[in-house]
Amino acid sequence: MISLAGFPSDGDGPIYLRIVRFIRAGVAAGSIADGDEMPSRRVVSATLGVNPNTVQKAYKLLEDEGLMVSRPGAKSYAVVTPESVEAARAKLRAEEIGRVVSALKTSGMEKSEAMELISRLWDEYEVGGDTE
Amino acid sequence: MISLAGFPSDGDGPIYLRIVRFIRAGVAAGSIADGDEMPSRRVVSATLGVNPNTVQKAYKLLEDEGLMVSRPGAKSYAVVTPESVEAARAKLRAEEIGRVVSALKTSGMEKSEAMELISRLWDEYEVGGDTE
DNA sequence: GGTACCGTATTATTCGACTAATACAGTTAC
DNA sequence: GTAACTGTATTAGTCGAATAATACGGTACC
């Protein structure tokens, strides 16, 4: 059974995404094995103090990514294959990151400037990109 | 008087940000000159079919950025100086990068991971034939 | 000074994302 | 079969951002 130990009590972003991130990290890091039983929606919801549907939203995303399997009535299990591990890592890596670097360097920005800018944007993060 | 010709009837993001972007682009591109008269809030609101306060929200941001000046009762004017042009370009650049950062966050990546990867990729990336 | 425009402030309303409440349906072990 | 779990769907509440309705006060020009 996959443990929720280490799940951050405080974190950035909505709860369902933090759950997704937590499982993705486990798959990517190898701390979750193929066929491991996932805690049920209700167990997770009770543990984290959220609604089962919030967990369902996270589990649905994870299933769509191929990181777990669910079927009505039965328990859910992690899927850890070379493909799913790569999928998890790809998500964590987000290939578009290369475009950030590309765009920034092309614009003639110094590395220190770029890091500062990205750090600030990350914290401020407004859809539409307005800052200040 | 600055013209609204070319203002995109459809676009991404809230209206007030599209107005901001439109003016920023004009300043950055040089199609707006220093001292140019800005259309009043009410004129813009009537032209675009939105509330004057939506325009006010945009104009307030532009004024905070140093791209225009307003004072109660009087007309508003564009401010085009080396500083404001640089400010406009920086904002447009930051906005573009912000979209990518947004995508990374939505995909569940954590800030520390992102910063680390960007730092590493920065050193590996070679400026090639990429333009734009 | 009066009129017509201007910018600004205060207060609703709308709308979508996130979360919750509840009910429904499938699986498994006895 | 039935009890106790499981996953899933439908609907409602909550909160913040975007926009609107309205009112107020300043400036310019005759």
Each residue's pLDDT tens digit, B90-116: 888 877 776 667 666 665 667 777 787
* Alpha-carbon span B119 to B115, nearest angstrom: 6
What b/e sequence results for B62-74 when a residue is b if at least 16 CB atoms lie within 10 Å of its CB, and e otherwise?
Answer: bbebebbebeeee
In this prediction, residue A11 carries a pLDDT of: 81
List the one residue out of A111, A115, A118, A128 whose CA is nearest residue B92.
A128
Distance B126 CA to C30 C1' (A): 66
B128 has a pLDDT exceeding 60: no
Q: Which 8-state DSSP code applies to residue B78?
A: E
* Alpha-carbon span B69 to A47, nearest angstrom: 54
Q: For chain B, what are the domain ranges?
A: 15-83
Write the class of the CATH domain A15-83. mainly alpha
List the one residue out of B100, B23, B16 whose CA is nearest residue B65.
B23
Q: In A30-81, where does DSSP find H-type helix? A: 41-48, 52-64
In the stretch 67-96 of chain B, residues with CB closer than 8 A to chain A read 91, 93-96
A112 contact residues in B (CB cutoff 8 A): none
Nucleotide nearest to A55 (CA to C1'): C19
Q: Is the CB of B12 under 7 A from strand D?
A: no
Distance B18 CA to D20 C1' (A): 18
* Alpha-carbon span A116 to A105, nearest angstrom: 14
In this prediction, residue A128 carries a pLDDT of: 39
**Whole-model pTM over 0.85:** no
pLDDT tens for each residue of chain A, 132 residues long: 999 888 988 888 899 999 999 999 999 999 999 999 999 999 999 999 999 999 999 999 999 999 999 999 999 999 999 999 999 988 877 545 755 666 666 666 777 777 877 777 777 654 434 444
In this prediction, residue B132 carries a pLDDT of: 25
